[in-house]
Amino acid sequence: MKSLVRLFRFAVIGVGLVAVVVFAGPPAPVKLIPLGLASDADVLVTDPAAGKSLYIESNSVFDINYLTVVDIPTGERKSCNLGGFGPLRGPRPVLGANSGMDLNIDGTLLYVAHFAENRVGKYVTAKLVDDPEVFEDSKCVGAEAASVAGIPKPVGVRHSKFDTPRLDPNMQVLVLSYPTNSLFVIDATQEHKSQIKLAKRIELKGCDSPNDLARELPTSISLAYVICAQNDVVVKVDLVTGEVVGSATTGRTPVDITQAGPNFSKLYTADLASHTVTVIDASTMRVRRQITLCSPANPGIRPSVECHPLAITSTTDGRFVFVANASDESISVICALTDEELLKFRAFPETSNVRPGPVAVNHTNSRLYVSAEGAGVWEYDLNPLYDAYGGAGQACGG
């Protein structure tokens, strides 16, 4: 269904802008990070360790995928070529060959899904950042340390990030296979050695077109949550038994998922076609609430009652959830303590008719990154938001 998402992003016709209501404490724009020809960012990942780097997987007008590494303090960036996808047949969830990536806990390794090549590559970030030869020939292959093949059309990628990864004997990288409706598990216990290996394949029963997955609960390392775009559901997967042990109904066409709230106890899905965010109890899989982002009673930034939420993420403390609304060109901020929409703000202060895409937050919760279709990535300061809504003892009250 992400093919539908990406087609939608190119096909929506813009309408005139209206005056923007100024809310207390919205994130403040800092700068635009341009990406040149590779300006359509598909995936954003922030460094979970030092927090100094932003990794961007993007697609160019020539159907070539790039990996860009941005040094956050200086704004300097380097890019290398991940390869083009060439002509493909069959269903495609995104426009691009590499549609998922994630870092390990210390930020030393980056796992990238190569959609067209049916594999996942492991890249050494030190070579991406520090080795000029990797970028001089514009190829990323010099930084690739290992690869796992045999994963048909891999999409969402998640590493088991926990506070004590060295002590976790079950460190894994989870990868979704779009056409086979499967979840592949890569053994990452020896990830700093030259080889990585495929551990198991889990059939996602009752899940068609898996788009993305969440696995962020430090108390539930044996569980994963997968959104299924064609079924309008989230399924709960036991990684030990390989069974689907629960499900919950979302809004129409869920395209992204995150976890937030006290102890990260809730799932939040971005439901593209129903203009909603569905809030689900991660333990019981019961729907707690459905938040309508655009309606006559809750209009968007643009004169429309359609938001089409395309991407979603949360802060590392679980307090705030950010939703990129494609047709509204806005970002919704949700308080994960009350599940109320606090505010909307215009995604891009200097442009119009540009769709926001993937969003990411850095590890200190001081910066929000928003993909600007065809322009690059906007960086926002989150300190005004925390000053207004994130104080100690506050339930996101202004």
- Confidence at residue 220, expressed as pLDDT on a 0 to 100 scale: 56
Q: CA 241, CA 21: separation in Å to the nearest integer? A: 50
Candidates 318, 223, 313; CA nearest to 263 is: 318
The DSSP call for residue 286 is -
Give this prediction's pTM: 0.86
Give the pair of three-digit tokens for residue 37: 């020809």
DSSP string, 306-368: ---EEEEEE-TTS-EEEEEETTTTEEEEEETTTTEEEEEEES-TT-SS--EEEEEE-TTS-EE
pLDDT per residue of the chain (398 residues) written in tens, 0 to 9: 434 443 343 333 233 323 333 344 788 888 888 776 555 677 778 876 666 788 888 766 556 778 888 888 887 888 888 875 533 333 334 333 335 888 887 788 889 888 888 889 899 988 888 777 777 667 887 888 888 889 998 888 888 755 444 444 557 889 999 889 999 998 887 777 767 788 899 999 989 888 888 875 555 568 899 999 889 999 999 988 999 999 999 999 999 999 999 888 999 999 999 999 999 999 999 999 999 998 777 777 776 668 899 999 999 889 999 999 988 889 999 999 999 999 999 888 766 677 888 899 988 899 999 988 777 888 999 999 998 887 655 667 65
- Confidence at residue 48, expressed as pLDDT on a 0 to 100 scale: 66
- Confidence at residue 235, expressed as pLDDT on a 0 to 100 scale: 96
- Confidence at residue 100, expressed as pLDDT on a 0 to 100 scale: 83
Candidates 89, 95, 47; CA nearest to 70 is: 47
Q: CA 286, CA 353: separation in Å to the nearest integer? A: 37
- Confidence at residue 87, expressed as pLDDT on a 0 to 100 scale: 35
Q: CA 66, CA 89: separation in Å to the nearest integer? A: 22
- Confidence at residue 164, expressed as pLDDT on a 0 to 100 scale: 41
**Taking phi first (over 0 means left), then psi (-120 to 50 degrees means alpha), and beta for anything else, what does residue 124 get?**
beta
Q: CA 369, CA 271: separation in Å to the nearest integer? A: 20
Q: CA 118, CA 296: separation in Å to the nearest integer? A: 44
